[in-house]
Chains A and B, each alone.
Chain A
C-alpha cells in the first residue's frame, strides 16, 4: 500500500480567495466546486487534509464535500501527474481510432487509463465527448485542447515534457 503524504495546509491567499468565491453566491455551499477547482489548480489534487480545510471554510461536513468531489469527473481526490491527459472515449473519437491512441500511450509511457507514469509526468484519464468531434480523435492535456490527434501528436508531447 502506498502512503500519500499530507499536502501543505491552505495558505492565507487561498483562504482569502475561497472566501471571495463564497461571496459570489447566495449560499456558501454553492461555491464548493469553484473552491475545489481553485485549490486543485495549484495543488493538482485534493487530498484529505485539504478537503477538510475547504469543507470547514464552506461550513460543510468533510464527508459531504467528499460526496461532491467524488461525484464530479474533474475533481481529483488522488495524486495525478504533472500533465493530465484527458483522452475522449466517446463515439466519434472511438470510430476514428482513440483505442489505438490509448495503446500507443501504453506502449510509450506504460500507463493504462486511470494510471500515472512512474516518473510522475503523466496521468491518463478517459473523458466524455469534448465537443470537438469534427476534429476527432480529440484530447485535452492540462487545459489545452488537441484535435485530429495521432501518435505523432502524443510523441511530441511526451518528448517535450520535462521531469517534474
Chain B
C-alpha cells in the first residue's frame, strides 16, 4: 500500500466501483501527507518541493506551479486574509478530466487543497465549480463534512495550529468564469469579466487579498509530490515530460475516455492504444490536441509527445490535454463553425474586437458551410485571425478561438474553397 504508485491521480478510481469515502481513502494511505506535514514541515519547504517537481498548471496555461506560489508575498510580508481558490469550472469544449478527479476521488481533491493552502499560508479556500457538475458538488460537500468531522479541516487541524475552511461555490454557467481573474470577479458577485493584469492575483486577488488560483488536476498532484518527493514525480514522465497527465480522447474512436498516462506519451499512442483507434469506417484527419482553444495537428503528425514543449514545436498547444478527433465523415468547415459559435456565444463582451469580431467570424463560417460564402470571405477570416490574435484582446479567449481557425484555414483550404465554388457542403 505504501509503495509509490505510477498512476497517482487515478490510483483510487476504478471503473464501476464506488468512490472512496474517508475511511477507504485513509486505508489507501490517504491524508498521510497531511498528517506528516502540517505543523511539522515549513510551508516554504513545500513550495520548494513543488518547484523542484516541475509541476505545471493543468488548467490550460501550463504555468509552473511552484513559481506561481513563490510570487505570492509571505504572510509575514503581507498580513491579512489570503485565499486559495480551486478552478473547477471545466467548460473548455472537449475537456472532461477534472470531472473524473472530482467525482472519482473527492478526498484526493480535499487533501490537495489542505496541503496547497498550507503551503501558501491561506486559511480560506473556495472551490469554484460549474453548477452543472451536480454529482461532484455533492461528493465534495460530503468529503468536506467527513474531513471536518475527522479534524482534518477547521480550527487547529491535528493540533498543528493551522486553520483551514473550504467552501464549495457553484457557478451559474459562463465559460469566461474559468479565466482566473474573471473567476474572482464572479466569486465576488460581479459579472465574470477578466481583470487587468498586473496586478496578478497573488498580489491582489479575491477582495484585493493575495490569492492563488489553481486547476483541479494541478492540485490533485500535490499530495503525491509531498508524499513521495520531487524526484519521484519527475521520474514518472517520458519523452521530456514530468509526472503524469490525465489525457483524453473524444470523437469517433472506439474507446473515448480519459486516461492517466506518463506526461510525454505520444498522441499516436494515446489514440491508437488507449482510445482503441478509429471506429471502423472512419479515418482520422486531424486532432485538436488539448481542447477547443488549441490549433489543429494534421493526422500525419501524431507521433508528437504530449508535452507543452513538443506541442509548441508543432504549432499548437497542450491545452487541457484532452484531444478531439476530426474524422473523414465530418465537415472541417462545420467543425470550425461549431467551435466559433461556442466562442462567439461565450465572449464576455468586454472588449470590442472579441465581442463584435467573433459573431462575424461565426456568420461567415456558417454561410460558407451553407454554400453561400464568397471567395473574399477567406481573406476576411485570415485577417480576423490576426486582429483577434494574441495580444490584441483583453484576455486569452479570443486568441484561443483563433487557434483552430488559423490552422484550419491552412490545413483545410481545399475544403473551404470547394464549399465556396460548388456552393454546397459535400458532407450533408
- A residues bordering B, Cβ < 8 Å? 24-34, 36-37, 58, 67-68, 71-75, 86, 89-92, 94-96, 127-136, 140, 143, 145
User: Would A94 and B96 be within 8 Å (CB), given that A30-B188, A36-B172 are in contact?
Assistant: no
Instruction: Kindly state whether residue B339 has any CB partner on chain A within 8 Å.
Output: yes
Cβ contact within 8 Å between B90 and A131: yes
CB distance from A118 to the nearest CB of B (A): 27
User: Chain B contacts of A143 at CB under 8 A?
Assistant: 134
Instruction: Kindly state whether residue B167 has any CB partner on chain A within 8 Å.
Output: yes
Cβ contact within 8 Å between B132 and A130: yes
Pick the contact of A90 from B170, B257, B292, B330 — CB < 8 Å? B292
Please report which residues of chain B, range 139-196, place their CB below 8 angstroms from some CB of chain A when the two chains form the complex: 167, 169-175, 186-192
- B residues bordering A, Cβ < 8 Å? 81, 90-96, 98-99, 130-135, 167, 169-175, 186-192, 207, 248-252, 256-258, 288, 292, 322, 324, 326-327, 330, 334-335, 338-339, 341-342, 346
Pick the contact of A27 from B188, B257, B327, B334 — CB < 8 Å? B188
Closest chain B residue, CB of each to CB of A133? B250
User: Would A134 and B188 be within 8 Å (CB), given that A91-B292, A95-B330 are in contact?
Assistant: no
A-B contact count (CB 8 A): 138
User: Would A129 and B93 be within 8 Å (CB), given that A33-B186, A37-B172 are in contact?
Assistant: yes
Question: Complex formed: what's the CA distance from A72 to B182 in Å?
Answer: 13
User: Would A92 and B207 be within 8 Å (CB), given that A129-B91, A129-B95, A134-B256 are in contact?
Assistant: no
Cβ contact within 8 Å between A68 and B191: yes
Closest chain B residue, CB of each to CB of A60? B189
A-B contact sample (5 more), CB < 8 A, given A32-B189, A74-B172: A27-B188, A73-B173, A92-B256, A129-B93, A131-B95
User: Chain A contacts of B251 at CB under 8 A?
Assistant: 92, 95-96
A-B contact pairs, 29 of them (CB 8 A): A26-B81, A27-B188, A27-B207, A29-B189, A33-B170, A34-B169, A37-B170, A72-B173, A73-B172, A74-B173, A91-B335, A91-B342, A92-B94, A92-B324, A94-B335, A95-B326, A128-B342, A129-B92, A129-B94, A130-B132, A131-B96, A131-B130, A131-B132, A133-B250, A133-B256, A133-B322, A134-B96, A145-B132, A145-B135
CB distance from B92 to the nearest CB of A (A): 7
Question: Complex formed: what's the CA distance from A134 to B99 in Å?
Answer: 12
Cβ contact within 8 Å between B189 and A68: yes
Cβ contact within 8 Å between B174 and A72: yes
Cβ contact within 8 Å between B189 and A31: yes
CB distance from B105 to the nearest CB of A (A): 16
Question: Complex formed: what's the CA distance from A145 to B133 in Å?
Answer: 9
Cβ contact within 8 Å between B189 and A72: no
CB distance from A41 to the nearest CB of B (A): 11
User: Would A127 and B171 be within 8 Å (CB), given that A27-B189, A134-B257 are in contact?
Assistant: no
CB distance from A134 to the nearest CB of B (A): 4
Pick the contact of A134 from B167, B171, B189, B250 — CB < 8 Å? B250
Closest chain B residue, CB of each to CB of A30? B189
User: Would A74 and B132 be within 8 Å (CB), given that A95-B252, A129-B95, A134-B96 are in contact?
Assistant: yes
User: Chain B contacts of A74 at CB under 8 A?
Assistant: 131-132, 171-173
Pick the contact of B133 from A26, A34, A86, A131 — CB < 8 Å? A131
User: Would A90 and B342 be within 8 Å (CB), given that A30-B189, A72-B173, A74-B132 are in contact?
Assistant: yes
User: Chain A contacts of B330 at CB under 8 A?
Assistant: 95
Closest chain B residue, CB of each to CB of A94? B338
Cβ contact within 8 Å between A133 and B207: no
User: Chain B contacts of A32 at CB under 8 A?
Assistant: 189
Question: Complex formed: what's the CA distance from A99 to B256 in Å?
Answer: 20
User: Would A26 and B207 be within 8 Å (CB), given that A131-B98, A133-B250 are in contact?
Assistant: yes
CB distance from A34 to the nearest CB of B (A): 8
Closest chain A residue, CB of each to CB of B326? A95
Closest chain A residue, CB of each to CB of B338? A94
User: Chain A contacts of B324 at CB under 8 A?
Assistant: 91-92, 95, 133
Question: Complex formed: what's the CA distance from A143 to B90 in Å?
Answer: 17
User: Chain A contacts of B258 at CB under 8 A?
Assistant: 134
Question: Complex formed: what's the CA distance from A26 to B209 in Å?
Answer: 12
User: Which 7 pairs from chain A and chain B are nearest by CB?
Assistant: A72-B172, A29-B189, A73-B173, A133-B250, A90-B93, A74-B173, A134-B256
Question: Complex formed: what's the CA distance from A90 to B133 in Å?
Answer: 16
Pick the contact of A128 from B91, B191, B335 — CB < 8 Å? B91
Cβ contact within 8 Å between A134 and B248: yes
Closest chain A residue, CB of each to CB of B134? A143
Closest chain B residue, CB of each to CB of A68? B191
Question: Complex formed: what's the CA distance from A29 to B280 in Å?
Answer: 54
Question: Complex formed: what's the CA distance from A29 to B186 in Å?
Answer: 10
Cβ contact within 8 Å between B338 and A90: yes
User: Chain A contacts of B169 at CB under 8 A?
Assistant: 33-34
CB distance from A93 to the nearest CB of B (A): 9
CB distance from A114 to the nearest CB of B (A): 12
User: Would A72 and B96 be within 8 Å (CB), given that A33-B189, A91-B338, A136-B256 are in contact?
Assistant: no
User: Chain A contacts of B188 at CB under 8 A?
Assistant: 27, 29-30
User: Chain B contacts of A58 at CB under 8 A?
Assistant: 189
